[in-house]
Amino acid sequence: MHFATSALALVASAIAVSASTVTFWTLDNVQRTVYFTGNPGSAQINPVTVSNRANTTVNFPGQWVGNFYAVPNGQANKPGMLGEVNFSGWNGLTYFDVSAIVDPTDQNNVKQMWPKVSRNPMSGCQVFPCNNVYWLPDDVQTKTTTESDLITTLGSGSTGITFTQN
Ligand SMILES: *[C@@H]1O[C@H](CO)[C@@H](O)[C@H](O)[C@H]1NC(C)=O
Ligand SMILES: *[C@@H]1O[C@H](CO)[C@@H](O)[C@H](O)[C@H]1NC(C)=O
């Protein structure tokens, strides 16, 4: 009886830990490849091709910390506007932000990120440049959420969503 209960608890926590996702929502008609860079100790995640034909949900192993960037088909693979995530942040929180630190001129790929259910807080902007991204190493723009499922938009266009902060 005790064994069964703790085994169930183990399964439940394993599910909770492995449930982190980012869903990519493409707003324009450009096909892109999203490349993931895990910090040391984080699993390697294969690139995915995304377009507006479907939203693509990528699963992250628990504890994943790193970033991703998107490259339109036919263009050189180099990091640009970043989506940064820490799915194993302090107190189990998810830390995330859109960062222009590598290439602020990459203004039409990774756009906005927000927690799937609450849609708050939101990082990034529909049109760059804006002050809702991480620009400098000492910038305090990292957002936190108790959710582990995020949405990221790519490309130009409107989400039609009114975020509570912009
Ligand atoms: C992607 O998700 C958004 C937000 O839920 C939705 O409005 C949009 O219709 C979805 N796109 C596709 C192709 O399913
Ligand atoms: C991720 O969050 C953990 C817990 O707060 C922290 O120790 C770690 O430094 C964070 N990683 C990055 C890259 O910020």
Q: What CATH number did the domain enclosing 104 receive?
A: 2.60.110.10
Rounded-to-integer distance, Cα 100 and Cα 80, Å = 7
pLDDT of residue 156: 97
Does the Cβ of 93 fall within 6 Å of ligand 2? no
Q: Which domain holds residue 89?
A: 20-154
Q: What is the pLDDT of residue 63?
A: 85
Domain count, the chain: 1
What local confidence, expressed as pLDDT, does residue 147 receive? 96
For residue range 51-104, list pLDDT tens digits in order: 999 999 999 987 899 999 999 999 999 999 999 999 978 888 999 999 999 999
Indicate if ligand 2 lies below 6 Å from the C-beta of 86: yes
Residue 55 covered by a domain: yes
Cα 4 to ligand 1 centre (Å): 40
pLDDT band at 15 (very low <50, low <70, confident <90, very high): very low
Is 55 in contact with 120 (CB distance < 8 Å)? no
Confirm or reject: Cβ of 65 under 6 Å from ligand 2: yes
Gap between the Cα atoms of 78 and 156, Å rounded: 19
State the pLDDT at residue 13: 47
Read off the pTM. Answer: 0.87
CB of 89 closer than 6 angstroms to any ligand 2 atom: yes
